[in-house]
A and B are shown apart, each in its own frame.
Chain A
Amino acid sequence: MNKNLKVIANGIINENPTFVQLLGMCPTLAVTTSLKNGIGMGLSATAVLVASNVLISLLRKLIPEKVRIAAYIVIIATFVTIIDLLLKAFLPSLADQLGIFIPLIVVNCIILARAEAFASKNTVGKSALDGLGMGLGFTCALILISAVREFLGAGTLFDIKVYGDIITPPAIVTMAPGGFIVLGSLIALINHIAAKRKAGDK
């Protein structure tokens, strides 16, 4: 496989930030009530992740070791503010739905973790790819979770009715408890599949 593709695939599958590294749980649980929100959040975080990875990688030799975390946070917060203002200007309904969780991308551990673990040690190109891979991994995870929650809890997908008329969908799945239980079950399912594949390899 191509080397660059490998870096991206690593973020999406092998080191998926949500399902494998279990980072960034707050937005994962809070915004996955519908597919639209999940995708919006995933892509916003991806944009911030790529931009901050690139800038931090560019500045990695200039930032003193001792104040690096503070410097990273300021860089990330700047990009988040840009995304926040852009969303408010061009996608006001999505910005309304995501609400406080857009500025809270600043404290999404995935972004700081990649800055510290990857961008501060690697070249600009590699860091951009890593940001893209991790961001897409996060987005894919959000899509999966929000698809399950929207389908089970509202009987719709992308706001289009799937089965809502036949039986009343259990709304609790889109509420707080459903978020915890769906995510827990999905991680268990992935663990199960991973364990089976490992047993098959032997």
Chain B
Amino acid sequence: MEYLSLIIGALFTQNFVMVKFLGICPFLGVSKKINTAAGMGMAVTFVMAVASAITYLVNLILGSRFEYLQTIVFILIIAGLVQFVEMFVKKSMPSLYNALGIYLPLITTNCAVLGVALLNVQNGYDFIQSVLYGTFAALGFTMAIVIFAGIRENIDEADIPKSFRGFPIALVTAGLMAIAFMGFSGFSI
């Protein structure tokens, strides 16, 4: 039951993109096509799940004595993981690799990944909770980016005032989506 409410929270009520403002860069940058958005979501999900597990274990080693090293150590772990994912995607899915372009190495600087590692520590989650939170927060990110990409594919065909074209209308759309996500607030099990 406790795990279920953690999952619901990570997916909906505390959605990383729409409520917590984490991972906005790829959310806006790689959301022009549904396929690339889904691919980005998968890559981020993998990195976030594994990063949650590793950072939890490393944080045990750091303890309270080396707490000040947290940020530096976490970001290095994430950078290493992303490098690994990049090599894997390049070999096994070259078309996705080309579509993601610069945004693949930039997962390192996706604040959702470092954010989830820091939040796990801040909330005092144990190992299972950390991995669950990381995985489902990432799935929440994937859900948001795929829905958003679906909407943006249609926006391209609409007649939009000149100064709103491109980024501004995308942001306003995201705002309307965020209103929809507010409907989940207060929802708990």
Contacts and interface: CB of A to CB of B under 8 A. Distances in A.
A176 B21 contact: yes
Contacts of B174: 180, 184
Contacts, number: 125
Interface residues of A, number: 41
B115 A188 contact: no
- The majority secondary structure among interface residues of chain B is helix
A52 to B, nearest CB: 13
A30 B20 contact: yes
B171 A180 contact: yes
B22 to A, nearest CB: 6
B31 to A, nearest CB: 13
Given A109-B109, A176-B182, A178-B175, A187 B167 contact: yes
Contacts of B182: 175-177
Interface stretch (B32-40, B52-60, B72-80): B72-80
A181 interface: yes
Interface string A168-202: 00001001111111011101110110010000000
B118 A176 contact: no
Given A176-B21, A195-B162, A26 B111 contact: yes
B168 to A, nearest CB: 4
Given A70-B79, A195-B162, A77 B115 contact: no
Contacts of B169: 184, 188
A5 interface: no
A172 B181 CA distance: 13
Nearest to B69: A81
Contacts of A106: 71, 75, 114
A85 interface: yes
Given A73-B76, A78-B72, A184 B122 contact: no
Question: Chain B: interface residue count, which band?
Answer: 35 or more
A181 B175 contact: yes
A84 B72 CA distance: 12
Contact of B75 (A25, A30, A107, A187): A107
B176 A177 contact: yes
- The majority secondary structure among interface residues of chain A is helix
B96 interface: no
A85 B68 contact: yes
A29 B20 CA distance: 9
Contact of B172 (A23, A184, A195): A184
Interface of A: 22-23, 25-26, 29-30, 69-70, 73-74, 77-78, 80-81, 84-85, 100, 103-104, 106-109, 112, 172, 175-181, 183-185, 187-189, 191-192, 195
11 contacts: A26-B21, A70-B79, A84-B71, A104-B22, A104-B115, A106-B114, A109-B106, A177-B175, A184-B164, A188-B168, A195-B163
Interface of B: 18-25, 28, 68-72, 75-76, 79, 105-106, 108-111, 113-115, 118-119, 122, 161-164, 167-172, 174-176, 178-179, 181-182
Given A69-B105, A185-B168, A188-B163, 8 more contacts: A26-B23, A29-B21, A69-B108, A74-B72, A104-B22, A107-B114, A172-B179, A181-B175
